[in-house]
Amino acid sequence: MLNIHRLLLQRLLVSGVLISAAVGGSVFYVGIEKIDDRLVDLANAESANLAAASVPLLNDPAADHSKLAHIAADLVREHFIVVELYNRDRKLVMEQVNPRHQAVEKRLKQYAHTFPIDSAHHYERYSFDDMTVLQVMLPLKDATGEIAGFFEGVFLIDPEILGRLRQELLVTLLIALSTVFVTTLALYPVIMSLNRNVIKFTRDLLKGNIELMEVLGSAIAKRDSDTNIHNYRVSIYAVRLAEAVDLGRDGILNLIAGAFLHDVGKIGISDSILLKPAKLSEAEFAVMKSHVTLGVDILTKSNWLQSARDVVEFHHEKFDGNGYMRGYRGEEIPINARIFAIVDVFDALTSKRPYKNPLPFGEAMAILRRDSGSHFDPRLIVAFEGIVEPLYREISALADEAVEKKLQALIERYFFRDKAA
Averaged pLDDT for residues 318-323: 96
Is the pLDDT confidence value at 5 over 90?
Answer: no
Q: What pLDDT does 124 receive?
A: 81
Is the pLDDT confidence value at 105 over 70?
Answer: yes
Angle at the Cα of 401 (from 397 to 407), degrees rounded to 5?
85
Domains of the chain and any CATH numbers: 4-167 (3.30.450.20), 224-415 (1.10.3210.10)
Is the pLDDT confidence value at 340 over 90?
Answer: yes
Rounded to the nearest 5°, which phi and psi values hold at 85? -120, 135
Query: Considering just the CA atoms, what is the radius of gyration of the chain in Å?
Result: 43
Task: Round to whole Å and give the CA distance between 313 and 318.
Answer: 12
Q: Which residue has the higher pLDDT, 367 or 200?
A: 367
332 DSSP assignment: G
The distance of Cα 365 from the centroid of its chain, to the nearest Å, equals 46
Per cent of the chain over pLDDT 70 is 82
Q: What pLDDT does 186 receive?
A: 74
Give the number of residues written for the chain: 421
Q: Which residue has the higher pLDDT, 56 or 190?
A: 56
Averaged pLDDT for residues 356-360: 90
Band the pLDDT of 162: cuts 50, 70, 90. Answer: low
| Highest mean pLDDT (candidates 148-152, 278-282, 383-387) | 383-387
Is the pLDDT confidence value at 1 over 50?
Answer: no
Q: Do residues 333 and 314 lie in contact, with contact meaning Cβ atoms separated by under 8 Å?
A: yes
Task: Round to whole Å and give the CA distance between 161 and 123.
Answer: 18
Q: What pLDDT does 2 receive?
A: 45
Is the pLDDT confidence value at 385 over 70?
Answer: yes
Q: What pLDDT does 215 receive?
A: 77
Is the pLDDT confidence value at 420 over 60?
Answer: no
Q: Which residue has the higher pLDDT, 177 or 280?
A: 280
Task: Round to whole Å and give the CA distance between 225 and 76.
Answer: 107
Is the pLDDT confidence value at 238 over 80?
Answer: yes
Q: Which of 229, 253, 151 is nearest to 403 (CA)?
A: 229
Per cent of the chain over pLDDT 90 is 32
Q: How far is CA 370 from CA 149, 364, 378, 381, in A?
A: 103, 10, 10, 10
Q: Which residue has the higher pLDDT, 64 or 47?
A: 64
Is the pLDDT confidence value at 123 over 50?
Answer: yes
Q: Give the count of beta carbons closer than 10 Å to the beta carbon of residue 342.
A: 24
Confidence (pTM): 0.57
Q: Which of 314, 317, 311, 289 is nearest to 374 (CA)?
A: 317
Q: Which residue has the higher pLDDT, 383 or 191?
A: 383
Report the b/e string of 136-158 with b at 16+ CB within 10 A: bbbbbeeeeeebbbbbbbbbbbe
Is the pLDDT confidence value at 96 over 50?
Answer: yes
Task: Round to whole Å and give the CA distance between 329 and 20.
Answer: 56
358 DSSP assignment: P
Q: What pLDDT does 311 receive?
A: 95
Band the pLDDT of 258: cuts 50, 70, 90. Answer: very high
Q: Is the dihedral of CA 13, 15, 18, 24 positive or negative?
A: negative
Band the pLDDT of 46: cuts 50, 70, 90. Answer: low
Band the pLDDT of 163: cuts 50, 70, 90. Answer: confident
Averaged pLDDT for residues 186-205: 64
Averaged pLDDT for residues 81-106: 83
pLDDT, tens digit (0-9, with 9 covering 90-100), for 398-418 = 998 999 899 889 888 888 764
Q: Which residue has the higher pLDDT, 311 or 160?
A: 311
Band the pLDDT of 42: cuts 50, 70, 90. Answer: low
To the nearest 10°, report the CA torsion of 67, 72, 73, 76.
Answer: 170
Q: Which of 68, 42, 71 is nearest to 55 (CA)?
A: 68
Is the pLDDT confidence value at 421 over 60?
Answer: no
Adjacency order of strands within the sheet including 131-141: 92-97, 80-87, 147-156, 131-141, 122-128
- The 3 state secondary structure assigned to 64-128 is CCHHHHHHHHHHHHCCEEEEEEEECCCCEEEEEECHHHHHHHHHHCCCCCCCCCCCCCEEEEEEE
Cis before residue 288, ω within 30 degrees of 0? no
Task: Round to whole Å and give the CA distance between 185 and 408.
Answer: 37
Mean pLDDT over each residue of the chain, to the nearest integer: 82
Is the pLDDT confidence value at 344 over 90?
Answer: yes
Q: Which helix (H) or strand (E) holds 45?
A: helix 4-54
Task: Tell me the HSE value of 235 on the side-chain side, using a 13 A CA sphere.
Answer: 30
